[in-house]
Structure 1
Amino acid sequence: MIIPLGIAAFIVFYVVFRFAITKFDLKTPGREDDDVEAEKNVDLGSSDYTTVAAAILEGVGGAANIKSIDNCITRLRLEVKDSSLVDEKKIKSAGAAGVIRPSKTAVQVVIGTKVQFVADEFKKLCR
């Protein structure tokens, strides 16, 4: 009696959850929105990385506002002293795809795969 009951429960759960997931577009593991491709295909406003870095530096409040500079494969990761000086519109006008603020003092500028070149120029400007 327990095996047919298990099979029946499986069928009921499968049908109900499949309906709920597809009808309400529930984000189960593997169904999340992926922004990774969008981050890789960012087109900077200029191929002159010094200009882009200078515009981003102006958007984050200048060299005096920067504590640390780092980068990953698509993002310029900055630690700032005063986050109220960060102007997202200026940063996006430099060609960045977006700005992410994981904490009060951390700012991540989504640049794309050319981030290493921008980060090198950014570090030169901050010296």
Structure 2
Amino acid sequence: MATILIIDDESGIRYIAKTILSQNPGPEPLTILEASSGSQGLELLTQYHPDLVLLDYRLPDMDGGEWLQQAESLWPTAVLLVSASSELEHIAHQQALIVGTLAKPFKLDKLRITVLDALSRGLRGEVSP
């Protein structure tokens, strides 16, 4: 069973992502955790060691770069970067933990496919160099 941590300050985004991933889990069931801030996400990261993190780059208490820097020393796991920023791809290439990106607003099928693809490539709990 894979564990996914969704970190987004928008409750609607967390709800939609959790609903879509819960309804269509793919080949194995998913445990889905939610955080509304970067600091809450770091707490859940250290407590549950998720296999994959969906990280909103713009959080109220820290930006995604700060979160990634702290996360790398706590539990370096695969991260899908989610953002409405036009610089999404540029940002993603600057961080080792990022295994993919998802631009907001995203299509529901794109979310599901992107998450399942990251999990199926064996990115759970580790990031390849």
The interval holding the TM-score normalised by the smaller chain is under 0.3
TM-score normalised by the chain length of structure 1: 0.25
Q: Which has the higher helix share?
A: 1
Q: Please give the TM-score of this superposition, normalised by the length of structure 2.
A: 0.24
Q: Who wins on radius of gyration, i.e. which is larger?
A: 1
